[in-house]
């Protein structure tokens, strides 16, 4: 009876230590040996203990198989998630490049607006030298309105450019953080595999 309890303790310990499929072959081999022993010793005093031990070993094999299937499903799910994540990142990078190209064009436009503003300022100074002419004053008012419109347009473009630069910076930072997370996951998986290999030996 003491020997039977000792075997059960060993089985429970192995269930706790080896649950990732590392010792599957050994479990099956042990189960086959126990089965052969049970078949070759009918009616003996150890038949019942051997039978219970065989059932425990069979349950251990089934548990290991279920856990392996579960881990396989989880790994497949994670792989799909990473693939989708990579696809999203690639699309985000492509969008960022497009936005940068748009911002460059908007910047060129803003430079032209600035140049026009300088020309209008110079013209406005010339016009202001002749305040007694009504036609000149009306033209000055029109130029001032145009100048205000151009100024508002330039400020809007500069604000938009600044926002796009901030968005791109956030995107690049997120990519770097994701790369660090992936490298850390790979490192953790390598350490777990080494620990599992060490425990199985």
SS (H, E, C) 6-69: HHHHHHHHHHHHCCCCCCHHHHHHHHHHHHHHHHCCCCCCCHHHHHHHHHHHHHHHHHHHHHHH
Whole-angstrom Cα distance, residue 102 to residue 108? Answer: 10
Write down the pTM of the prediction. 0.32
Whole-angstrom Cα distance, residue 129 to residue 175? Answer: 58
pLDDT in tens, the chain (201 residues): 334 445 555 555 554 444 444 566 677 777 777 777 767 766 656 666 777 777 787 788 788 788 888 888 888 888 888 889 888 888 888 888 888 888 888 888 888 888 888 888 887 777 666 556 677 778 788 888 988 888 888 888 888 888 888 888 888 888 888 888 888 878 877 777 777 776 665
């Amino acid at each position: 009876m003491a020997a039977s309890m000792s075997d059960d303790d060993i089985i429970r310990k192995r269930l706790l230590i080896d649950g990732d499929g590392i010792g599957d072959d050994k479990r099956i081999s042990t189960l086959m040996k126990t089965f052969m022993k049970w078949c070759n010793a009918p009616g003996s005093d150890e038949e019942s203990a051997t039978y219970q031990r065989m059932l425990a070993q069979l349950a251990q094999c089934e548990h290991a198989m279920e856990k392996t299937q579960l881990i396989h499903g989880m790994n497949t799910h994670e792989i799909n998630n990473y693939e989708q994540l990579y696809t999203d990142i690639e699309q985000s990078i492509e969008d960022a490049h497009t936005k940068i190209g748009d911002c460059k064009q908007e910047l060129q436009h803003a430079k032209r607006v600035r140049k026009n503003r300088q020309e209008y300022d110079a013209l406005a100074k010339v016009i202001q030298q002749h305040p007694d002419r009504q036609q000149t004053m009306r033209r000055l008012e029109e130029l001032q309105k145009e100048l205000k419109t151009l100024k508002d347009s330039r400020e809007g473009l500069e604000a938009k450019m600044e926002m796009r630069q901030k968005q791109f910076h956030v995107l690049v930072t997120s990519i770097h953080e994701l790369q660090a997370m992936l490298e850390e996951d790979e490192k953790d998986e390598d350490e777990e595999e080494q620990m599992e290999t060490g425990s199985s030996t």
